[in-house]
Every structure is written in C-alpha cells, then in structure tokens.
Amino acid sequence: MAEKKKSFEEAVTRINEILRALERGDTPLEDSIKLFEEGAKLAGHCETLLQKAEQRVTKLVKTQDNTVEEQPFDAID
C-alpha cells in the first residue's frame, strides 16, 4: 500500500527530524544517504504544496468605485 502524502506541517516536521539526525553525525553513511534522499523528496513535496497554496491565495482589493473585488495575489501592485 502506498504511503499517504504528508501535510506541509508533517513534512516540515520530518525534515527537521532528518536534519537533527544528520547533524548528530552518528548515523552510518548508507543510512545518512537514505535520510538525505527522503529529505530531498519531502522538500520537493513542500515546494509543490507551497506553489499550489500560492495559486489559491487571493486578496480583496477596493476599486475606484468603492466596490471590492478579488484578484490573484501576484496581480496586485
């Protein structure tokens, strides 16, 4: 069965665990490589989640006629 995708927060927590293990310096080389690979995959997963979140972010902007409209976040000056 495939592992369920981690939430952003779960992935960041796991990345921090991996960093602590690697920083201790007592992990065998082969295990360190596996941890590094896992961390890289999790970082990519986080990047994807952040890109999707950014696409969903909108901001309400007051127009010149005093109405409010939604605009994409990156379209705002």
22-59, pLDDT tens digit by residue?
Answer: 999 999 999 999 999 999 999 999 999 998 887 777 67
Compute CA distances 14 → 6, 50, 53, 57, 66, whole Å: 9, 17, 20, 26, 47
HSE-CB of 48 using CA atoms within 13 angstroms: 10
Q: What is the mean predicted confidence (pLDDT) over 3-28?
A: 94
Give dist(CA 76, CA 47) in Å, integer: 22
For residue 5, pLDDT over 80 is answered with yes
Residue by residue, what is the 3-state secondary structure of 22-49? HHHCCCCHHHHHHHHHHHHHHHHHHHHH
Domain locations in the chain as residue ranges: 8-75
With tokens 């921090």, the residue in question is 16
Whether the full predicted model's pTM is greater than 0.95, yes or no, is no
pLDDT given at position 52: 87
